[in-house]
A and B are shown apart, each in its own frame.
Chain A
Amino acid sequence: MSSREKILSAIRSLTLESKALPDIPNFSNSGDLVERFTQSISGNKGEVLSKGELEEWFSSSGFSKVISRSSQFSELATLSLPEDPHALETLEVAILDGQFGVAENGAIWLEDRQLGLRALPFATEHLVIVLDRNLLEDTMHQGYEKIAAAHSGFGLFLAGPSKTADIEQSLVIGAQGAKSLRVVLI
């Protein structure tokens, strides 16, 4: 007998009382979505800013390796998306469009379509996500409702920069992935 058969028949040999799958109520919160989303992002150690503020940051930083997949900031790109993700090793900034955000925790949904290369939001040194302020959901429940039927090979709820507290519980931003997250609400 294969292990598959062994495992499945071991489970099926048990008499297990049937338990109904509960329905999930549509929980919702009160409060302004933009305000709550902004608070959530800063709690996750990211930053919400305006288009102008981003441009200001950009012009003062002098980045030379920038990939932009957002039509809002196509003029900031200095590189096009490579075929091999290993070419992202020294990438300074990636700019992406987010599909929608979740106010309760700042999570932003991204799929293959936005990413181009799955490694992009992780390998880049700084990450910028452009998000329509009218596309904010209240909680994760509404978020999953929105992507219920969506079919992408890879999808991601991204809520902040790479961070760790593995050394004495001291929070450090910029562990293995992106060192910063800026969300531009338009």
Chain B
Amino acid sequence: MTHPENAAEFLKDSQKAKWHDETLWFVRDKRDKVSKGIPEWEQLRELASGIKDNVLANLADYLEEFERNATKNGIIVHWAADSEEHNRLVLEILQQQNCTAVVKSKSILTEECHLNPYLEKHGVEVVDTDLGERIVQFLNQPPSHIVLPAIHLKKGEISELFHEKLNTEKGNEDPAYLTQAARVHLREKFFAAKVAITGVNFGIAETGEFIVCTNEGNADMGVHLAQVHIACMGIEKILPRRKDLGVFLRLLARSATGQPITNYNSHFRSPSPGKEIHIILVDNGRTAQLAREKFRNSLKCIRCGACMNTCPIYRRSGGFSYNSTVPGPIGSILSPGLDLKKHSSLPFASTLCGSCTDVCPVKINIHEQLYEWRQEVTKTQGEFAKGLAMKLASGIFKSPLAYKISGSLMRNALKSLPNSLIYHPLNSWGKNRNLPDAPKESFQQWYRKNRS
């Protein structure tokens, strides 16, 4: 299904859609307020953007520096060109450990690589330990938001789910009660797991350490109890210096949820005695995106989710409407690079309002890239684009305007389409909206009569 179809479906449950919009708006509003408490906020964004520019311009060097330092510290570094290789590497480490059950904290990268189904196919039980992720995992759903995975669900739905899966009291919807039940369930898993998987927020070239941020403490519960820690990191997550974290940690949580920092910000530099840390550096389309000059700086993304919270489309259509691992504005500029055909409607799921660009802590020009992806989509995706031109013509720019615009504009766009299509009676504009009353004369006509 295309984004418009999914969005229309989402909006059918108008009460829930309204709740979704208001809840995410509240998060954005918190972000606005907390960011205004930092006088140097805009300067920090500029710095973060500048640091990431430098990273992307010197990525190969920084990756090698990171590898060198991490190896020196006793971390085992692996490289994966694509998702298959990433998944295979994870499985191999698990098999070496004879491990058939792992705990995993939030990692968008492993979602992108579809690690869970791969491991399950090979007989490994994967327990997602972020509460929101555990909830959607019980439902066999992907996360609908990169920071708030279960934001599409109401507590009633979660209560029913936990009654079935965790044997909680039927009808008890108290979030504290439900969270406590999950705590008991997850702690049992933590204490039993031999291997723990985490994502990575930042990797530091200078020191070879990597940083994982959570509020629940689930990443740490997993890795410090397990014998082996596997960290999965996209190659763009590198930062040059330890002190760069000062900039990024000041921005990350404030942008994401409006809190001054996540409660746990763990810096992994070498394993505890007798234990192992593996890190997998994953490309999976990132070098291809780096090669696309117009879209290169989408790789600056630190996955804070602020663009989703602010996006008037995302708030009213939900994460699943995008049908892409990373939804929302940032997903709409990342996903077409992975599969243009599948994601061709995403660059159009925007009014180009630009709010995403202005909340982005690393100043990615998201809405401008959406515009640029549209130009790419129409080059290769004839069908969809033609449909657009048709709708455009049959909508507001219906007669008399199409005729009146004398330049080559409309004719150029519409030359390949038969008139019967252009003036198709279906009129998306008018379904729920009136057209303005046609005035008796145009401005041009008035001007000719009154001023020349």
Contact = CB atoms under 8 A, between A and B. Distances in A.
Q: Do the two shown chains form a genuine complex with each other?
A: yes
A126 to B, nearest CB: 13
A154 B267 contact: yes
A110 to B, nearest CB: 10
Contacts of B60: 8, 11-12
A7 B54 contact: no
Interface of chain B, main secondary structure: helix
Nearest to A163: B215
Given A144-B245, A163-B215, A168-B155, A118 B272 contact: yes
B80 A174 contact: no
A158 B263 contact: yes
A77 interface: no
A106 interface: yes
Contacts of A139: 246, 250
Nearest to B134: A166
B187 A176 contact: yes
Interface string A65-94: 000000000000000000001100100000
Nearest to B275: A118
A139 B143 CA distance: 33
A156 B224 CA distance: 13
B21 interface: no
A174 B246 contact: no
B246 A10 contact: no
Interface residues of B, number: 88
B154 interface: yes
Given A11-B59, A44-B259, A167-B179, A20 B154 contact: no
A161 B263 contact: yes
Interface of chain A, main secondary structure: loop
A177 B220 CA distance: 9
Nearest to B244: A24
A5 B201 CA distance: 24
A14 B179 contact: no
A8 B263 contact: no
A22 B132 contact: no
Given A144-B243, A144-B245, A156-B265, 10 more contacts: A8-B63, A16-B56, A24-B243, A27-B44, A123-B224, A158-B265, A160-B263, A169-B26, A175-B131, A176-B218
Q: Which 10 pairs show the lowest CB-CB distances between chains A and B?
A: A177-B217, A166-B132, A119-B224, A105-B260, A175-B216, A160-B263, A170-B175, A4-B79, A153-B270, A105-B261
Interface of A: 2-4, 6-8, 10-12, 14, 16-22, 24-25, 27, 29, 40, 43-44, 85-86, 89, 104-107, 117-119, 122-123, 139-141, 143-145, 147-148, 151-170, 172, 174-178
Interface of B: 23, 26-27, 39-40, 43-44, 47, 50-51, 53-54, 56-60, 63-64, 73, 79-81, 85, 129-132, 135, 148-151, 153-155, 158, 175-176, 178-180, 182-183, 186-187, 190-191, 209, 215-218, 220-221, 224-225, 235, 240-247, 249-250, 257, 259-272, 281, 283, 287, 290-291
26 contacts: A3-B85, A7-B283, A11-B59, A19-B50, A19-B56, A22-B47, A24-B47, A27-B40, A44-B260, A105-B261, A106-B260, A140-B250, A141-B243, A154-B269, A155-B209, A155-B266, A158-B264, A159-B260, A162-B216, A166-B130, A166-B149, A167-B131, A168-B154, A172-B176, A174-B179, A177-B264
